Amino acid sequence: MFSNMHLPRYERIWLTIGIASLFIFLIILGTLAIGLGLQPPGHMKTVPPEQVRTSAPFNNPALVQIGPNEYKATMVAQMFSYLPGELEVPAGSTVHFEITSPDVVHGLYIPNTNVNIMVIPGHIAEYTYTFKHAGDYLMLCHEYCGAGHQVMMGKLKVV
Ligand code: CUA
């Protein structure tokens, strides 16, 4: 490297080390990005906000059983409620949430679980959670979305 340049030997060495460490850094970064799947969480699927209410599946928000102990909750977060506003599943059920918004940014937060979803218009957020313990859970909007933000909530019953 650099043998045709008239550089002092130590400068060649340092240049080589500098370039080599840059490549090592890029390789580590690339390996991490691919290996750990570093990408925006969820938000990979999209739907135009103005089509949410009229096109499948969000024109018919519902909880559907898709397997033994497995459910899909297709939901709409809107000013200032959830559709559907009440869900009920047996204890031990795994629920695949898919949720979007036709208006502004909302949230879906279920206290005492790991469900904590940001609902952005134009994006379909997905999250899967297994409800092991029976009880009444609240579905709360935790993104300020306007005058009715405080009353925007739903219920999830695990029986
Ligand atoms: Cu919806 Cu806050």
153 forms beta bridges with 140
Is the same domain home to 134 and 62?
yes
Predicted confidence at residue 70, as pLDDT, reads 98
Residues 23 and 71 in one domain: no
Q: What is the pTM of this model?
A: 0.73
**Domain housing 33:** 1-39
The tokens for 19 are 């370039």
Residues 50 and 34 in one domain: no
Tell me, what's the pLDDT at 36?
58
**What atom of ligand 1 comes closest to residue 80's alpha carbon?**
1
Q: What is the ipTM of this complex?
A: 0.99
Q: How far is the CA of 151 from the centre of ligand 1 (A)?
A: 8
Q: Is 143 in the pocket of ligand 1 (CB under 6 A)?
A: yes
29 and 96 in a single domain? The answer is no
pLDDT digits (tens, 9 = 90+) for 61-101: 999 999 999 999 999 999 999 999 999 999 999 999 999 99
In this structure, are 62 and 34 located in the same domain? Answer: no
- pLDDT at position 13 is 83
Mean pLDDT calculated for residue range 106-133? 97
Q: Which atom of ligand 1 is nearest to the CA of 142?
A: 2
The CB of 145 under 6 Å from ligand 1? The reply is: yes
